[in-house]
Structure 1
Amino acid sequence: MNLDRAVMMFAALVLLVSLALAHWAHSAWLWLAVFVGLNLLQASITGFCPAALLFK
């Protein structure tokens, strides 16, 4: 698995977990989904992905 796929998988898992937690635990977990979405948007614009640093 290359770095791009690992980052996308990590983002998808965090997003799905945050949505599940928002559904079953507390709606404040939706802020984690917003944070992931904003990071994906930022990475698409700037080309820099903070999560990629974790996988290097």
Structure 2
Amino acid sequence: MNVSQAVMAFAGVMVLISVLLTVYVSPLFMWFTVFIGANLFQSAFTGLCPAAFVFRKMGFKPA
């Protein structure tokens, strides 16, 4: 698994977790989903993704 795949998998899991938290805990967790989406949106244009830095440090290979 390379960094791109790891970032996409991580983002997908985090979105699913945030939706579950929104449904079962509090509607305010919807802001967590918004944060994830905004981060994905800005990384598409800037190329800067904090999760990618972490995954590179963990030893994932670049795409």
TM-score range normalised by the length of the shorter chain: over 0.9
CA RMSD of aligned residues (A): 0.6
CA offsets per residue over residues 1-47 of structure 1, 9 Å max, x none?
Answer: 01000000001100110001100110111111000000000000111
What is the TM-score when the length of structure 1 is the normalising length? 0.95
Which runs of 5 or more structure 1 residues have no equivalent in the other structure?
A: none
Partner of 1:51: 51
Which runs of 5 or more structure 2 residues have no equivalent in the other structure?
A: 57-63
The structure showing larger relative contact order (alpha-carbon pairs under 8 Å, at least 6 residues apart) is: 2
Instruction: Give, in angstroms, the shift of residue 50 of structure 1.
Output: 1.1
Instruction: Give, in angstroms, the shift of residue 48 of structure 1.
Output: 1.0
Between Structure 1 and Structure 2, the one with more helix by share is 1
4+ long deviations beyond 2 Å: none
